[in-house]
Structure 1
Amino acid sequence: MKFFEQIAQSIVEKTSTVLGVSMSITDAKGTIIGCNDLTRIGSHHEVTEEVTKAGRAVIFTKENITGRKNVLPGVATPIRFQRQIIGVLGIIGEPEEVGKYVEFVRTHVEMLLQQSFRTESFYLQMKTTELFIQHLIHFKEWESEDTLQNYCSMSGFHFDCPRMCILIDLSSLHTAKGEEGVLRISQYDLFQVISHYFQVHDEDIISPVHQGQWIVLKYMDGADMKKTRRQCEHALKALRKFFRNQQVGGSVSIAYGKSCSGFAGVSRSYQQALQALSTGKERAKGASGVYAFDDWNILLSALVQDIQPALAETLDDYAEKLVSHSNASALIETFLVYCEQGLNVSRAARKLFVHRNTLLYRLNQLSEILSIDTQSFEQCLLLYMALKKRKDQAMQVHT
């Protein structure tokens, strides 16, 4: 068993230091794979077969080891894993002295083996799941339906029911020294924490996407969207507390797309969650938050960011013409607030703390400069997107 060989020496060193005794561990063939005396590692220990056949602890005194090569006084006992003997633990010393440690150390070693096996199995499964996720979220580019179907057959997952993609972004975490804080916490621990707050159904899939970002493919059959929002907000608070306790600073963000069915649908939900995450983080200026793709503010910001180049150039020309005006700052602020108040002059004036006539004067200036009808929702929407994009870009530069 490869993982047994990998951890045997570590077990010997840690356990013998605590108890103050010398130890050795052999594999099933009798090869010493862990020992305080490093010169013995790799040598054959002939008593392994004897102890394995006995199936219990065997005492070796100075008298009964005379003439036996590479055998020291002490007590040896079988090591079992999944009900099979896989090696032998030897505690070296006077049997009367070290015998009291045998059962405790054997139990400890077997417990460490179980823990190591679970951890190794977890990482193997996680690698497989992560590969599946990469094929899934890039479904359109890779066209890997057969690969996905094979994985689903093996794992028992089904994609004919709606699923929602939830992204957990940890990329902004850092330690007090400025290092990436998430690197100090193992994937195993992160998985346990995230699963605790998101894994409700057996069909829920949790996996890292890449360094600093995790994905939850949440089974949504009959699920309440408001409940999902509350779950994300609760998880966000818990994750922030967890990282603070780990002395890790920075922000945690959670974003989710819409509920969709099928491989292509989940891929679409991922793209929506990714867009919501990007847009939400920009709007929040680095603060933690929960962002939904169907949030109207997120949709508007996403639309502003995704204006096609040809249209963007034309709108930029209008924006540039306005920016070059001597009263540009006041005119732009007035127009943005006017749009955000539903083209309502009275509400916009109150929001800006200006007289209604002042606001009307500025809107008339805008009309003269850009030949825009400030009472037309469609025309105002186009200019709003151009100015909003310019304002967002300026804020990004300053932050």
Structure 2
Amino acid sequence: MFDLQIIGTKIVRELGELIDQHVVVIDHNGFIIASTDMSRMNQFHEGALIAMKNKEVMHMTKELSAQLKGVREGLVMPLVIEDTPIGVIGVTGQPFEIEKYGKLVQKITQFFVEDFLMHRKKERETKMFELFLLDLLNGQVNQLLLEQRAEMLNIETDLYDRVIIIQLNRRIDEKGMDYLRAIQIIHPQLHIFQWSFDKLVLLVPKVTRIHLEQTLHSFNRKLVKLYDDEIFIGVGNSHSFFALNESYNEASIALTVAVENRQIVFEEDLKLELLLSDLDEQKVGNFICRTIGSLIEEEELIYNLEMWLKSKGGLQEIADALHIHKNTLKYRLKKIEKLLNIDINNNENKLELMIAILLFRKRKSV
């Protein structure tokens, strides 16, 4: 049975602004649960029970108001959902005066009820899909059971092959989620869900890599403009539907790299970062300490070293990018060599330093 109490006050408030008459909402037991006249709250309305029993609009005449308990002159209209009366909407006043309001009141009330029921149905379906997705991406539920649930939810399992995770450092309400679904152009049947407080998960239909990149960059620009925040995106690889937990794990790795580099990252593009994604924390700490440990408190030196290691240009080009003088860069590189007690031009040392900085950045982003 639908509980009219949930939206009764809203119905009364809206109707009270539209018509110059008192309005009451009466539940299926015949009690007034919302009214523009607060003195009538929780009173029994015998006429409402009769209207619900007969499933028809009734005029509460002066004679009836004298005979029936809790009744005033006016009009009572049963609210019928799927052939079942769920309550009554009443308008007080002389019947000939309020007759003109009858159909308007009934239609507006019916709209509120149907809109609420539709919204609740959508919420229930979304929740069921989210629970299914949680089990699918955790990879710990029997595939046969997942297949049965997918069929029950009418999910086209042949359509989806990839998972994307978006981190945006905020929670989005249901209206916001609906808006995001409306503005994305990746695919009409793309699913977007709030995954945790600061993350969204996208269940992506089969599209080409080029199309995905283009539309994902477009979506990212819209997100940045909408929320004025840093957005990080990790993209998993293509897999069969019931192996999408692998795509989810890959998207998580790609997201970690994206947070470090502030960009959209496809897991399939990762090389060294992939190797470093699941190392023992103690070993990582020891490696950082043995390589760049002397620079840990010198963030500026680490950044200058990182720029030098990554650059293919000469010292002047690097200095210009850092907005410092070439001689200042030379001085800092010499200082780094002295602090680390190594030759930073040695290829083996370069590789170790680059790995150490990658691990250091990864640690800081966690």
**Equivalent position SS for 2:202:** strand
Please give the alpha-carbon distance, in whole angstroms, between the structure 2 residues aligned to 1:163 and 1:107. Answer: 44
Please give the alpha-carbon distance, in whole angstroms, between the structure 2 residues aligned to 1:333 and 1:43. Answer: 74
Please give the alpha-carbon distance, in whole angstroms, between the structure 2 residues aligned to 1:33 and 1:275. Answer: 53
1:261 and 2:240 aligned: yes
CA 85–162 in structure 1, closer or farther in 2 if over 3 Å, else same = closer
**Equivalent position SS for 2:201:** strand
Please give the alpha-carbon distance, in whole angstroms, between the structure 1 residues aligned to 2:30 and 2:303. Answer: 81
Q: Deviations over 1:119-171 (max 9, x none)?
A: 211222222222222212221xx344354223212112244565111223332
CA 167–26 in structure 1, closer or farther in 2 if over 3 Å, else same = same
Correspondence for 2:218 among 227, 234, 259: 234
Q: Which amino acid aligns with 2:240?
A: S
**Equivalent position SS for 2:238:** coil
**Equivalent position SS for 1:217:** strand
Please give the alpha-carbon distance, in whole angstroms, between the structure 2 residues aligned to 1:169 and 1:310. Answer: 28
Q: Which amino acid aligns with 1:151?
A: R
**Equivalent position SS for 1:2:** coil
- Residue 389 of structure 1 corresponds to which residue in structure 2? 359
Correspondence for 1:211 among 162, 177, 197: 197
Q: Which amino acid aligns with 2:317?
A: K
- Residue 279 of structure 1 corresponds to which residue in structure 2? 257
Please give the alpha-carbon distance, in whole angstroms, between the structure 2 residues aligned to 1:333 and 1:46. Answer: 80
- Residue 177 of structure 1 corresponds to which residue in structure 2? none
**Scaled by the length of structure 2, what TM-score is found?**
0.79
Please give the alpha-carbon distance, in whole angstroms, between the structure 2 residues aligned to 1:255 and 1:51. Answer: 59
Correspondence for 1:374 among 346, 350, 354: 346
Q: Deviations over 1:277-296 (max 9, x none)?
A: 33323333xxxx53433345
**Equivalent position SS for 2:62:** coil
Contact 1:80 1:86 in 2 (8 A): yes
Correspondence for 2:291 among 318, 325, 328: 318
> Cα distance, 1:318 vs. partner?
2.9
Q: Kindly report the root-mean-square deviation, in angstroms, between the aligned alpha carbons of the 2 structures.
A: 3.8
**Scaled by the length of structure 1, what TM-score is found?**
0.73
CA 136–105 in structure 1, closer or farther in 2 if over 3 Å, else same = same
The alignment-based identity, stated in percent, is 20
CA 110–253 in structure 1, closer or farther in 2 if over 3 Å, else same = farther
Please give the alpha-carbon distance, in whole angstroms, between the structure 1 residues aligned to 2:29 and 2:44. Answer: 8
Correspondence for 1:352 among 318, 322, 325: 318
**Pairs within 5 Å for 1:336-351:** 336-337=306-307, 339-341=309-311, 347-351=313-317
The count of aligned residue pairs is 354
> Cα distance, 1:256 vs. partner?
2.0
Contact 2:55 2:80 in 1 (8 A): no
Give the gaps of 5 or more residues in structure 2.
320-325
Contact 2:25 2:35 in 1 (8 A): yes
- Residue 290 of structure 1 corresponds to which residue in structure 2? 264
**Pairs within 5 Å for 1:1-399:** 1-38=1-38, 40-52=40-52, 55-82=55-82, 84-139=84-139, 142-159=140-157, 163-172=161-170, 182=171, 186-187=173-174, 189-198=175-184, 204-220=190-206, 223-243=207-227, 249-264=228-243, 266-284=244-262, 290-296=264-270, 300-301=272-273, 303-304=275-276, 306-308=278-280, 309-310=282-283, 313-314=286-287, 316-320=289-293, 323=295, 336-337=306-307, 339-341=309-311, 347-352=313-318, 369-370=341-342, 374-375=346-347, 380-390=350-360
Please give the alpha-carbon distance, in whole angstroms, between the structure 1 residues aligned to 2:307 and 2:268. Answer: 23
**Equivalent position SS for 2:30:** coil
> Cα distance, 1:72 vs. partner?
0.6
Please give the alpha-carbon distance, in whole angstroms, between the structure 1 residues aligned to 2:226 and 2:354. Answer: 41
> Cα distance, 1:116 vs. partner?
0.8
Please give the alpha-carbon distance, in whole angstroms, between the structure 1 residues aligned to 2:264 and 2:37. Answer: 55
